Amino acid sequence: MSAQVIDGEAIAAEIKEQIKSDIAALGKELHLHAVLAGDDFGAKFYAGGQQKGCEEVGIHYSLDQLPDDASQDDLAAHIRKLNDDPDCTGIICLMPVPKGVDGRALQQMIDPSKDVEGMHPSNMGKLFYNDTTFAPCTPKGCVELIKRVGCEVEGANVTVIGHSEIVGKPIAMLMLGLNATTTIVHVFTDDIVPHCKNADILISAAGAAGAKWNGYKRKAKKDPSTPLPDISPLVKADMIKPGAVVIDVAINRVPKGFDEDGKPIKSKKSGKDLMVTRGDVEYDKAIEVASHITPVPGGVGPMTVAMLLQNTVNAAKAAQ
């Protein structure tokens, strides 16, 4: 029997409807500011998704774009200004920042009560006390997906693949807060397979294939004889416990295939490499093993924006 596919788009839409009601009850305008230095395509694309989500629920969104030569002091001054602005509900510092600028230091300057991404050390620390008011958006979205499918978390064996400060570590704390038995595995774990096979809930946030491919491209520029990396899915179907809930957080942009010379297949129209987006999990086979599974894209991604909006509402409530 095939797994139930967890529709992140549909669940995010339900959450946005609740957010609309919450905003109406607040009776005031919410204003989210995203701070960006430069003209990075990826950051602006991410900002576009944030703006669309804000427009859907009635939150005013501003992209505060500083020049690409903005200094640490320039960005710090702008964040301080937003911290002091009573009309600013929430603040996001978009990455990447210009060379020589410490992005982490900027995130730590944001007023914790306006830190709607949940990246301030104060808000990270509150996860230890099970305070998820400003939990990081992607981990918070994962937890919401797990709850929505009716999965019993208390007492469940949870394995998290990846120990980043953005996803892996905070989601482990969120799972512990729900009384799950939580294991974290990562690139330095000798063998992740037994931990995966033991998991009632498996959450993968490694981005392994994408990292390997990007590393290969950097090396191949200097040495064309660099061998192609193994970019097959990190989590094979036979690593999944039958009936497990599988949450695939990773976003890997990798070639769709290779020609006989080992080069990525190119588009006949554009001449560019044909790329695909996929997660860490061997989805087509894992769907026959798991009880519930998220697709990539369309699973966790929409929930990240929904949780950003929810955190912004939380910030407005806290400011009352």
Enumerate the domain spans of the chain.
28-113, 131-303
Q: What is the pLDDT of residue 117?
A: 97
* Assigned architecture for domain 28-113: 3-Layer(aba) Sandwich (3.40)
pLDDT tier at 1, thresholds 50, 70, 90: low
Q: What is the pLDDT of residue 41?
A: 84
pLDDT (average), residues 308-315: 98
The class of domain 131-303 in CATH terms is alpha beta
Residue carrying the six token digits 């704390």: 173
Has residue 274 got a pLDDT over 70? Answer: yes
* CA atoms lying within 13 Å on the CB side of residue 243: 6
Has residue 59 got a pLDDT over 70? Answer: yes
Q: What is the pLDDT of residue 262?
A: 85
Does the pTM surpass 0.85? The reply is yes
Q: What is the pLDDT of residue 128?
A: 96
Q: For residue 242, is the peptide bond before it cis, meaning its omega torsion is within 30 degrees of 0?
A: no
Which pLDDT tens digit goes with each residue over 181-224? 999 999 999 999 999 999 999 999 999 999 999 999 999 999 98
Which pLDDT tens digit goes with each residue over 137-164? 999 999 999 999 999 999 999 999 999 9
Which pLDDT tens digit goes with each residue over 27-47? 999 999 999 998 888 899 899
In this structure, how many other beta carbons lie within 10 angstroms of the beta carbon of residue 219? 14
pLDDT (average), residues 104-115: 97
Which pLDDT tens digit goes with each residue over 123-138? 999 999 999 999 999 9
Q: Which of 66-70, 200-204, 290-294 has the lowest mean pLDDT?
A: 66-70
% the chain with pLDDT above 90: 93
Provide the mean pLDDT of the chain: 96
